[in-house]
Amino acid sequence: MKIYRANILHTPTPGQLEIIEHGYVAVKSNGRVKGVYKELPQNMDWRRQVMDFGDKLLIPAFNDMHVHAPQYRNMGLALDLELLPWLNTYTFPEETKYADPEYARRLYRRFVHELWMQGTMRAAVFGTIHPESTRILADLFVQAGMGAYVGLVGMNRNSPETLQNTTAELMDGMRMLKAHLDEHGNNGLVRPIITPRFVPSCSDKMLTALGNYAAETGLPVQSHLSENRSEIDWVKELEPEATCYGDAYNKYGLFGQTPTLMAHCCYTDGEEMELMKKNGVYVVHCPMSNSNLSSGMAPIRKFLNEGIHVALGTDVSAGHHMSMLRVMQYAIQVSKLNYAQTKGEMPFLTLSEVFYLATKGGGSFFGKVGSFEPDYEFDALLIDDSYLNYDHYTLPQRLERYLYLGDDRDIKRRFCRGVELVEPTY
């Protein structure tokens, strides 16, 4: 057992920021939380084991639930372009380079290192169509001790010829990746995820095969949904029998039949929203990306009111930064612009709500992850905010100032599933 003392802040539920000033968290040897305590039990054995972090803040680590690893080199680039030229001139050519495993290794190292740096201990990641490079990416997560769902991407239509795989290649790759991670995935910390890029880039045959594979293995699914208006119209043309964009996944068994992440959902409403709710599909809200690509404002308050799962994602490189702090800020701000435009109809998101989304909201996709409740896996960040805390600030204020003003410099220690992770230097 390990026992840490610090100011402990977490959100067991969205509206409930729980604060234990100079509290203790006990972590069992299996990496799970035993409990959080204001006073330590009268147990000398426990007392001897306390690691005291003083006045620092201890918070759950962040989970980035939508990010494109092979777009890392393009982060902060080409944001004056609209979606199609951005894809064709920057994104697809970059992803094509990942046919070369050595290129992949060089860039994926930087990607995983930056996740670590930003305090993102788990992520749901898109790779490319290339099995070998995607396996390298998964191995880098394992070596770093971080958690990930790693997706070998399926795309066999409406994409550059150099960036397509056949259904057979995709399924072979998936099986290889699954077998590899079943054995070497750090006891399930790194797992594969079924990843059709999005409906327009996958033939019916590919979607059918992926749906069957989901049913066969129980593996989760990630993709894109209702990101912008022209995409939605396109899907309508391609899948005329689907009653909505979401149904175009649903009819193949790729929409909540196994745990499912759908990024964006800017224009999800009505039937699609109902279907997500009914099937327990997660919305991955990517407000930074949705601003950068002029996609629009997702109706997150409505999703939350409906009881739909919501997580957050950077969506690098349509998102321009890997910091989940930034994503939280954008989530609040976009909801406020929405609030202004609807003249207050839809209350904006609060700080404790987005803190929940960035931690437990996404973490719940991995199981018991994202808070310090008993039996939760201990994923945590130790924050030194002393330069922000130069005057008399309360603990809720210190958290707010860190979330709005902090950056990677403030993170002094990082834990994933109970293990303290050193900087990955491979």
Nearer to its own copies, 48 or 392 (CB): 392
Residue with tokens 């009111």: 305
Position 176: which residue type? Answer: M
Nearer to its own copies, 140 or 261 (CB): 140
Nearer to its own copies, 305 or 394 (CB): 394
Least spacing, CB of residue 372 vs its own copies, in Å:
23
Q: Are 193 and 147 within 8 A, CB to CB? A: no
Q: Are 148 and 138 within 8 A, CB to CB? A: yes
**Which residues are near its own copies by CB under 8 A?**
73, 75-80, 110, 228, 288, 291-297, 320-321, 329, 332-334, 336-337, 339-341, 348, 350-351, 388, 390-391, 393, 397, 400-401, 403-405, 407, 409
Position 175: which residue type? Answer: R
Nearest to 1 by CA among 22, 23, 32: 32
Tell me the three state secondary structure of residue 87: helix
Q: Are 153 and 128 within 8 A, CB to CB? A: yes
Least spacing, CB of residue 208 vs its own copies, in Å:
34
Least spacing, CB of residue 161 vs its own copies, in Å:
25
Least spacing, CB of residue 351 vs its own copies, in Å:
6
Nearer to its own copies, 242 or 346 (CB): 346
Give the number of other Cβ atoms within 10 Å of residue 50's Cβ: 14
Rounded CA separation 138/193 (Å): 11
Position 22: which residue type? Answer: H
Tell me the three state secondary structure of residue 372: coil
- From residue 9, give the alpha-carbon distance in Å to each of 28, 82, 178, 325: 19, 40, 36, 15
Rounded CA separation 424/145 (Å): 9
- From residue 114, give the alpha-carbon distance in Å to each of 117, 119, 154, 212, 315: 5, 9, 26, 35, 14
Give the number of other Cβ atoms within 10 Å of residue 91's Cβ: 22
Rounded CA separation 223/194 (Å): 9
Q: What is the DSSP letter of 162?
A: G
Give the number of other Cβ atoms within 10 Å of residue 95's Cβ: 28
Least spacing, CB of residue 198 vs its own copies, in Å:
19
- Helix residue ranges, H only, 358-423: 362-363, 395-405
Nearer to its own copies, 164 or 389 (CB): 389
Half-sphere exposure of 387 (CA within 13 A, CB side): 7
Least spacing, CB of residue 410 vs its own copies, in Å:
12
Least spacing, CB of residue 321 vs its own copies, in Å:
6
Nearer to its own copies, 21 or 408 (CB): 408
Give every CB contact of residue 346 below 8 A, 6+ residues apart in sequence: 299, 301, 302, 335, 338, 339
Least spacing, CB of residue 51 vs its own copies, in Å:
29
Rounded CA separation 358/64 (Å): 7
Least spacing, CB of residue 415 vs its own copies, in Å:
25
Least spacing, CB of residue 162 vs its own copies, in Å:
20
Position 7: which residue type? Answer: N
Rounded CA separation 84/284 (Å): 22
Nearer to its own copies, 282 or 348 (CB): 348
Nearer to its own copies, 241 or 391 (CB): 391
Least spacing, CB of residue 137 vs its own copies, in Å:
18
